[in-house]
Structure formats: C-alpha cells, structure tokens
Structure 1
Amino acid sequence: MAWSSQLVSCRTLLLILFLLLICSADADESIEVKRSLIGFVQQLSENDATLLRKLRWDASTNPCDGDGRSWNQVQCTKRNDSIQVITLEGLGLRGSINASLLCRAPSLATVRLRNNEIQGGLPPEITDCSNLTHLYLANNRLTGSLPSSLPTLGNLKILDISNNDFSGELPDLARISGLLGFLAQNNRLDGSIPAFWFSNFGLGYFNVSNNRFTGPIPQGADKFDSTCFTGNSGLCGVPLVNACPPSPSEKDDESPSLYRVKAVMLSGYFALGLVLLLFIPFTIISKKKRKGNKFIDDEKNALESNAKNSSITNKAGASRSEYSIPSTESAAVVDVSSSLIVLRKPGMNDLKFRELLKAPAELLGRGRFGSTYKVVMSDGAALAVKRIKDGSVPAAEFRRRMEKVDMAPHPNVLSAVAFYCSVQEKLVVYEYQHSGSLFNFLHGNQAGGPFDWSCRLRVAAAIAEAMAFMHKELQADGISHGNLKSSNILMNSNMDPCISEYGLILADEYTTKPAGHITGAPEKADVYGLGIVLLELLTGKLVQNDPFELARWVNLVVREEWTVEVFDKSLISDGASEERMVKTLQVALKCIHTQPDARPSMELVAAMVNAIREEDAEVCSL
C-alpha cells in the first residue's frame, strides 16, 4: 500500500515537471520563428554579422527574456512569450524585405523599418502577417507597386510608405475599415485616391502629396490641409483651389439663361478688377508720401483690422485671422527684394523676403519673444515663419547662431530651411508640421491616436536625447535652446517629436524669468524647461504663461506625500506603471530644482529617462 502511494506521488511529480517544461517552452518563441527572424535581418542587412551581434539576435536565446539576455530592438507581448514589435530604424540597411521570413512571428503587430536604404519592393507575402497593425517603411528606396492583396490585412491601422519610389495604382485600401492613417507622400503613385474612411483619420495621419494621382479628391478628405494633396497636377476638388470640371451631362443642362447670368457675372468681375487696378496704384502713391514710408508697424492694430474681415475658426474653436505677415521694414528696404539665407531646401533659393510678406499668413501664436505664422506660398508649399521681436537678438549674433545650429543637425530638432535678418526684421522659416505640437496632443486639441504612457515616455526620451546632443555640439559656441516648452515641440509625419526654435533666444533674455524666478545658466535653464515638459507628460496639466505654477503645485503635492495624485488620471486608468511614472517624476523634480547648480546635465537626464524607458515593455501605438 505504501509502495503504491509512493508510485502515485512519483507519477504526480513527473506530471508536474512535464507541465512545467511545457510552460517553459511556451514562454519562448519557437526555434523556427527565431531562425526565420534572424534570416530576415540577414537579408535586410546583406549578411552583416556585426549588426546581428549588436542586436544580440541569437537562436539559442529567448528574445523576450527579462534578465538582460533578450534581443535588442524587439518588444514582446505582456506575457513575454512572443515578439510583438520589431524596430530596425536608422541602421543603414541596404538589403530587401523577405516577408515570408518576417511573418512567421505569430504575434507580430508593429514593424518599423524607417530611415534606412532598403531596396526592392513590398512583397505580397506581407499579408501573411495577419496580426499586423502598424507598418512603417518611410525614407527608404523601395520601388514597384503595392501588392494587390494588401487590403486583406484587416487589422492594419497605420501604413507609412512615404519618401520611397513606389509607383502604380493603389490597391483598394478603403476596404480596411479600421485604417487610421495612410502616409504616402513623395512617391510616384498614380491613379485615383481610394475613398478611405476619412472620418477615422486624425490630422497628420494622411498625406499623398508629390505623387501622380489624378481625378477628384474623395468625399470627406476636405478635413485635411491642401498641402496633403499638392504635387499631384491631375487632382482636383476641395481642398485644392482647382475645381473639378463639370461632367458632360452637367454641361448639357446649362440653359441659355444660365449663360446670360454667367456673362453678367463676368462683366461685374471685370468692372471690379478695373476699379482695383486704378485704386491700388493710388493707394501705393499715397502711402509713399507718409512719413517713414513704413509697412504696418503696430502688429496689434493689423490683427484687429484683419480679424474683422476674415476670421477663421479652427477645430479647437479658437478664432484665427488670415492676412500677410506684418513687417517693420520700410518700403525702401523691402523694394530691394532681399533674398532669404537658405540653409536646407534648394527649391527655395529664389524665395524673397517680400514674397513671404505678401503670401497669405495665419497667426498661429504670439509669445514673449515674437509671433509664429503659417504661410502658404504661391506653389502651395506651407511654411512656418517665426518673426522675432525687434531688438531681441542683434543681427550679427542672430546670423551666427542660425549658421551654427544648422551645422549640428539632429532628427529630433527641426531644422530651419531659411532665415532673414536685418537691423529691423528677423525671420526664421521652417517647414510647416501638420501634426501639431506636443502641447496639442497633451491637451486634447489634436486628433490622433492614443497618447498613452509608453508614447509619452518615448517622446520624453527622444526630446532628452536631442537636447543632450545639441548641448554637446554647441557648448563651445554658447548656444542653447532658450525657450523649451511643449508648444515648441512639434510632431512630424512619423509622430516623432521635433524641437523647434532652437537657439533663437539669447542667454541674458531668459535667465531671469517673470515673477523674479532665476533659472540659471543657459544649459541649466534648458534642463528646467525639460523638467516642466516631463511634468506636463506626467500630470496632463495645462501650462500657459507661468510654468512655475505647475512646478510649485507638484512640489506641494509631493511634500504632502500624495505623489500618486499628481499623475494624469487617464494614465492611471490605462494601467500605466506607477513605479516608472514615479521614477520619471523624480527625474523631473531634479530638473526643476530651485538651485541651478543642483540640476543634472542634459546628458544625465537623457540617460535616466532612457533607463526608465528600457524597463517599459509596453508598445506605443502612435
């Protein structure tokens, strides 16, 4: 009897051990999947063994192991049993995509291959990745047409194929009812634009500019800016200025009386044009007789007078006015048609200061150091123009700073494409970013995907790394940002943060803040600004004119030992890691220390934020 009991116990123990072995085996990708993914990278990198060692992709290890032996550039499911995200961006990959190998990973949802030199096409086997939700292929050398089977990826949410050399007609991607974004600018695609479910698309998640599309723009696409469609000479309809021609049936329906009405209208327009032709020279002559021969000197008066005539209400409900940028230059100065100093965009070499002043402009915001406008040029190009207040930066120093900043490019710092400086006028020109600012994303003024904790942490790490790079590169020149805040951090088409207005403000202009606050040396002031941005990401609180108010409130709550109360309630409800949010809060508090010398360097801040991000296994879906 005892022997029988012992036998049962042994069998039970063996069964338990067997089940444990099965569970242990299930906690790792199969050897076939690992070998396939390694083969995928080998073909993508043209058998670069150095890259595989750097990535630590080895079939003998667990890709999702949490003890430091896991694969680099992958993220796994919450159970840590299979790969969910592969990120291979900016690695100089020159090979081709083998989707048959890639799609053997059963849980694969996000693939990021941006900013490489990948060649070949997108193979039809990509549809074997049945769980794929995000596919980012921007900034490569991919060619050929998109596979006709692509619409069978029913879970796809974001498809980014921008800045490649894809050609041919698009498959019927409108069949993917859950698609939230399609970016295809700067390719050679032709045919018509599919009738997407545009109501699902957030602003900044759709762009087909600079292709060869033809025909009318689909219904519902008028929610997007015209620059999302420019560069397609065959397109017509709203929001473009060129209307679609009427169909033959519409032409046949026009009666003789309708022709007479049109003739009367044309005559009226001709008469009005003649009056304007006579009136404009008279106005110009009158203005030249005025003392100083100046353009509009008082920006406030210009805004008020223009607001009466052309008020535009944006989606957030704010009233905006459309007019030309007010100039402090005299007519004599502007008449010389001075050229802007072009830094980065060869196509703008012939852009003149006067053309910027004449182009339709929309005021985006006014701050302590100047105003920002959205300007649409005659060719449809959208630019953001920062007009700096008179006297804030001497002309020679301004030029030196612009040229030095241009010599230190970073992907997360928005490069100026041109600038203009004189004794009276200073402008900096950037490419307009349609996706809005970090401020918009945080405070609900920007449509788009979820801005959860993993996305906020990714943005924080990118900002910190970029600022650390710029501080290191420009330390000898004494150039820092000077006005770092969430409204100056823009989101590009890939939903990556881009720091704008770097170096526009001199150190002695911002070391002393309103209400008597001293933020210290230029670099330490930037660290303080980053600390406030981190607090915005953590709390979701609105920062307007006084960032010190947010710092005071957070410090008060933390002193009362109510730390969890500072965090954004939406992050808590989404199940964000309180431990990692507390660690990030500790970094932010170091950055906003009242004593500038006690604040860490930007390099140390970047290292601390990245260390927290490496602990986070969640996937950002932006």
Structure 2
Amino acid sequence: MKFNPFIAFFVFVLLPQQKFVQVVADLDSDKQALLEFANGVPHVKKLNWNLATPVCTSWVGITCNTNGTDVIAVRLPGVGLYGTIPSNTIGKLKALKVLSLRSNNINGSLPSDIPSIPSLQCLFLQHNNLSSKFPVTFSPRLRIVDFSYNSISGTIPNVDLPSVRVLNFSYNNLSGSIPSSFKRFPSSFIGNPLLCGSEPLKPCSESVVSPSPSPLTDFPSPKTGSQNQHATSKSKLGVGSIIAIVVGGLAFVFLLLAVIFISCLKRKHSGSNGMLKSKISQNDKPNDFGSGVQEAEKNKLFFFEGCSYNFDLEDLLKASAEVLGKGSYGTTYKAALEEGTQVVVKRLKEVAVGKKEFEQQMEVVNR
C-alpha cells in the first residue's frame, strides 16, 4: 500500500483541530449558560463573570475539569443570591458534578432540569427559601442531597435514589407519610410538622399540628406609597378599636356598679320595712298566757274546785312521761309523779290568749 500524504495530513492536522473546535464550543455553551444564570438571578455580591475573562481560571466559584473543557462545579454559597432560578441555565451544564447555592435567599420553584442533570453528584441548596414541590426526577449519580431549611411543600413521591448516601429535607413544610424508599433516612425529615412516619417523627395515627413558618424569609421588598398608606390606616384602625374597647369596658363597669348600688338600697329599704312590720305585729299581738303575772306565778298550777291533786309544775316536769298521741292542738302525755299519781297532760301549742280567757276556757272544759 502506497503512502497517501493527503490521509496523513487529515489525521495529523484536521482531526486535532476538529476536536479543539468541539472543546471550545462546549466551554462556550457552559459560559453562556452561566451568564444567563447570573443575569437572571440578582445577587448582592458582584460576580466577576464576563465574556472577556476565561471561565476556568478567573470566574469566582467555577471549577472545570483537568482538560478545561467543561464546568464540573459551581460553588456560590452565601453570595446574596435572591429571586428565582431561571430554567435552561444551570440545567444546561451537562458535565456538572457539584452545585452549591446554600445560604442564600433563593425562592420560588426549583427548575426540574437541575436535580436531573445526568452527571450531578452533590446538590447543596440548604438555607434558602425554595417553595417548590418535592422533586420527582433526580440524577442517578447523586450521592449528597441537601434541601434543609427551605419551604418545600407537598407529599413525598416514592422515588428510588440508589446512589444517595446523605439526604436532608429537614425543616420544610412537607406533609403526609414517608414512602418506603426513604425509610432508610430516619433523621432526614425532622422539623416537618405535617409529616409522619417512624422515629423520630410522629406516628401517622396521631394528629399532626399545623406547620410552623419557614426559618428563612424573603428579602423585604420596598413598599410603595399606597402600601404605606394602607398600613397606616390599619394601624389607626387598630388604635381606634382599642379605644372603643376600653370605653366600652369602663361603661360596663359603671353600669354594673350602679346596678349593685340600687340593689343594695332596695334591700336596705325592704329590711327596714320588715323590722317596722315586725315591731308593729309584736305590739298588736295579745298577751300570752304568762303575760302580766309575776315570775313566781309562772310555775304555779291552778286546780279547779273539787280537785284533790296537790303538785306543782316542777313536780310535773320531773315526772317520767310517755307520749299517748299527737293532735292538731298539741301532744298528749301520760306522766307518773314521784308519789305514784298518774295524770294525763296535753301540751297545747300556739296559745295566743290571756290568762283570764284561758282559765275561763278551762272552766268550760271542766263542766
């Protein structure tokens, strides 16, 4: 076979140039994707990313492979990124292995093309304010996933992550139960009040409490004039409501005191009337049986003519007695005196007549 100089020229000259063109094209694609990301996401700290400087050696937070052909790591922790991440930016880095955007204030939904980058191995997005749902597509090469201290919500899909060794979705707003594919990470979901499962979470049979607010919030946006006026009117309304409540409370207290005072006056007036009526009734009441007699005569018994008994009230009170019966006018007793005499005594109740009237009545009974 004869040597063909044209083929040799193609192999040794044209093929290396074609490979170099491909490398430059790949790096330019990564460079353009990173610039679109930087332009779409505001950041407090200024990045030195621009078209005039080389990506692999000059750009902050960027690491390329040893050949300088692809971006394999983007590390921008705590640089003041805020807002949402546009899709088709970071997700275009087809050789990316490490993405670290932790400790920023990124909010909104995470583009689905980021966790599904085929070459991605480490994803650090903790301490942001992401409010998207739980990702459903992950790179099969992922080994470390950290979404802790965000606002990820919704239920957890049953996603298989065979290569993951470290998983952290703690302190989010996830709900429901933990699927079987994630039960090998028992401590990766703490701080989700609406989530249930095995220890250290609450059992799913127990009721769960309402979610607590996210530990991180968005950067405060400046208020417009109408918003300030609205807030001022709200504060004025609040002060007016407080004053109305205080005045109403004082009026209620005064009304209650007035009612108590009037009630006391009525009670005092009715009490004085009762005492007056009692005095009048006592004055009008006829003298009882013992009125108008000496103290010595109160214990003296009076016998009718022809009666041979000779004892007094003291002897009668000392005698043993038994009850014979009770009537409408009093109780009847059988009394046995000391000398053996037995008498029947009827003790009258409610006697409201004078002595003379009582003796006259007894005379009638004796006849």
**What TM-score comes out, normalization by structure 2 length?**
0.49
Tell which structure's C-alpha radius of gyration is larger.
2
- TM (normalized to structure 1)? 0.30
Higher share of residues assigned helix:
1
